[in-house]
Every structure is written in structure tokens, then in C-alpha cells.
Amino acid sequence: MPTPKPARTSRTLLAVLAGILTALALLLAGATDARAATTPVYKGTGWKADTANGIYSISPDPYTIVFANTTARSKLSKYFTGPSAQLAGIGIKVTVSTTIDTSTAACPARHRIIVHYTYRPMGTKGMSQARSCYAIADGSAWGGHIFMDSEYWTSSTWFSTNATTNEARRKDAVSHELGHILGLAHPNVDLDKDGVVENGECVRNAAGLRPLLCSPNRGNPPATAGGKFTTEFDMRGLKQMLQNYYLRQT
């Protein structure tokens, strides 16, 4: 019968074409990796370096999280352990200490991140803030202050009426500000090409998850993802920022 033969031929041609496209994709990926290995990169899919605030890289030297007072320590300490462990997996060392640091200097000691628990630090409902600093000599993340809005905790239904969702959102909020201190900016882009970069307008991975640094937030993450930088987006950016430190030395 003549019909099956052209059908097999079509499948064969499609397979060949698919193979060629896959090979080209791998070659392009290799070329991108090669460029990344020799040249600093400041933005990519789902991430962006905070170059506007002078941060181009993350230093390989350890960073330490301290707290402005005992209330901040008791309320927020546990929220930093997860992202710190995640960062350790790519070579970024962040230690969550029990130290109280009452310094009011705009930029604390090198690689010190002072965490505050306060009501409406920006004077606006529900807004937290990261006040990051950078090393003048090399443009690496220096440290700074994180001001978490206490409303997330004092209102049991701040984000939603679901307790599990609320806790995931709190974790996201804390890690979001940590990402800013380490040099990530909001990666929002004009996906719908309407000329406006809008709130929440960020790329998504195959599971529908947006970057943790998406502004003003990435929505309602699964409980298991709460507080974790998105692997395909934020984590790639943070890893590149660490590589940038070495690349910028040459």
C-alpha cells in the first residue's frame, strides 16, 4: 500500500530535522556558556543584576546575617536558613548568626546583613525594603540592611486565608529581600509587548513558577517552593554573579 511509505518518510524527515535543531540548540548553548566563562554577564532569562545600584558581582568571601534586636532575631532568623543552604550549594556562603547589631550606619561592616522587623519601613502598607551597599573597588555586593514589614506576621490573613500559603509567602518575602542585598534586581519584562513593564510581568518555568525576585512578588508558590530562589531564574543569576567576581578581576 502506498500510503504508509510517505508517512514513514515524513516521520524520518521530521526526526532528522529534530536532530539538527537539537544539535544547533546544543551548539548555541555551548557558545553561550563559552562567552559566560570569559565575559561578565549582568542579565539573563528571569534574572537581572542590580547594576543601577552598583552591584555587578557577589564576593566569594562569607556574608553574615545579624539582627537589629532580639525581636527581629526571634521572628525572622528561621526564614534565612533555607535560602542560605540553597546559596551554599552554588558556593555563596551566608551564615545566619544570633548576633545583635544596633548599628545605624547606612552601610554596616563588610559582608554584614542587618535584619530589621518593623512596621511599614517604607511608609507604605505591606512594603518591605532592602537597602543594599556595594564595594566601590570591585562592584561586588557589600551587605546592607533588610527591613521586613511586621504586618506579614501580625495579621494572620495578610496574604490569604490559608495558613500554609501565608507562610510560603512570608518565606518568599524574606528571601526576596535577601536576593536584593546580594545584587539581584527585579527581572520584570514587557512580555505582552504593550510598552509597559507591569507588576508581576515575569517569565515562568515549566511548572508555572516565576522568579522569586519578580516584583512585587511571584504569586502563591507551592509550600515546598516558599522562600527558595527559582532554579531556572534567580539561582542562575546568583551563580553568574559569583562568576562575575572572578571575571571582573581579569
Q: What angle do CA 79, 187, 72 make, to 5 degrees?
A: 20
Which phi and psi (to 5°) does residue 99 adopt? -65, 140
Could you report how far apart the first and last alpha carbons of the chain are, in Å? 67
Look at residue 250 in the predicted model and tell me its pLDDT: 75
CB 145 within 8 A of CB 114: yes
- Please name the residue that has the C-alpha cell 535543531: 21
Work out whether strand 112-118 and strand 63-67 pair parallel, antiparallel, or are unpaired.
Answer: parallel
Q: Is 116 helix (H, G, I), strand (E, B) or coil?
A: strand
In the chain, which residues have pLDDT < 70?
A: 1-37
CB-based burial of residue 172 (10 Å sphere; 0-12 exposed, 13-18 middle, 19+ buried)? buried
Q: What is the pLDDT of residues 149-202, one digit of tens each?
A: 999 999 999 999 999 999 999 999 999 999 999 999 999 999 999 999 999 999
For residue 187, whether the previous peptide bond is cis, meaning omega lies within 30 degrees of 0, is no
pLDDT attached to residue 37: 61
Residue 83 near residue 228 (C-beta atoms within 8 A): yes
The neighbouring-strand residues paired with 65 are 96, 113
Please count the residues of the chain: 250
Res 33: pLDDT: 42
Cis peptide before 216 (omega within 30 of 0): yes
Instruction: For the chain, give the mean pLDDT.
Output: 88
